[in-house]
Structure 1
Amino acid sequence: MEPTIILSILGGVIVLLLIVGAPIRPVRWIGQGLIKIMIGALLLFFLNAFGTMIDLHVPINLATSSVSGFFGIPGVVALIIIQTYIL
């Protein structure tokens, strides 16, 4: 799809939500989930930055960011164990 079409659709959805009003609770859950995924990606970035010293690399994608974001440090440790011993 063209970027202009995507941006116009997003703009239309935003205007529609501003006019009609969005239900607060689902929007809050989505926002909190996205923030947790971003925090998970940041944790994995630091893991990869400091893990190069011990030859450790966990790929940063939606699945690994979600695991590390929602489960925190235990999730990162689980990803390290999976990466080291299973893959």
Structure 2
Amino acid sequence: METYIIIGVLAGIILLLLLVGAPIKPVRFIGQGVIKLMIGALFLFFLNAFGNYIGIHVPINFVTTAVSGFLGIPGVAALVIIQMYII
């Protein structure tokens, strides 16, 4: 699949969940978690796309996506530091 199709589908799902919401609390909780995971994957995708010029690459898997999604920009920075200095 092309990357722009994947990004478009993820953005559409995020927008749909943000606009419509979920009426039941557990479903809403799961939906917010899924949104954070998608946003984390997008953070890592853009980090890898733009970081390629300066030699930064963080693999996109469930653990790194969860860290970047739930912690946000500080989580992405922590992953970069771990990738550069520890691994």
Scaled to the shorter chain, the TM-score interval is 0.7 to 0.9
Corresponding position of 1:69: 69
Deviation of residue 28 (structure 1)?
0.5
Deviation of residue 67 (structure 1)?
0.5
Deviation of residue 78 (structure 1)?
0.3
**Following the alignment from structure 2 to structure 1, what is the Cα–Cα distance between the partners of residues 25 and 44?**
29
Matched AA of 1:65 = T
Corresponding position of 2:10: none
Whether 2:32 is the aligned partner of 1:36: answer no
Structure 1: unaligned runs, 5 residues or longer: 1-22
**Following the alignment from structure 1 to structure 2, what is the Cα–Cα distance between the partners of residues 71 and 77?**
10
Deviation of residue 24 (structure 1)?
1.1
SS of the residue corresponding to residue 58 of structure 2 reads coil
SS of the residue corresponding to residue 43 of structure 1 reads helix
Instruction: Tell me the TM-score normalized by structure 1.
Output: 0.72
Pairing of 1:3-82 with structure 2 (within 5 A): 24-82=24-82
Q: Percent identity?
A: 72
Deviation of residue 86 (structure 1)?
0.6
Deviation of residue 76 (structure 1)?
0.2
**Which structure 1 residue ranges, 4+ long, deviate > 4 Å from structure 2?**
none
Deviates more, 1:23-32 or 1:65-74: 23-32
Computing the radius of gyration over CA atoms, which structure comes out larger, 1 or 2?
1
**Following the alignment from structure 1 to structure 2, what is the Cα–Cα distance between the partners of residues 46 and 30?**
24
**Following the alignment from structure 2 to structure 1, what is the Cα–Cα distance between the partners of residues 28 and 62?**
20
Deviation of residue 41 (structure 1)?
0.2
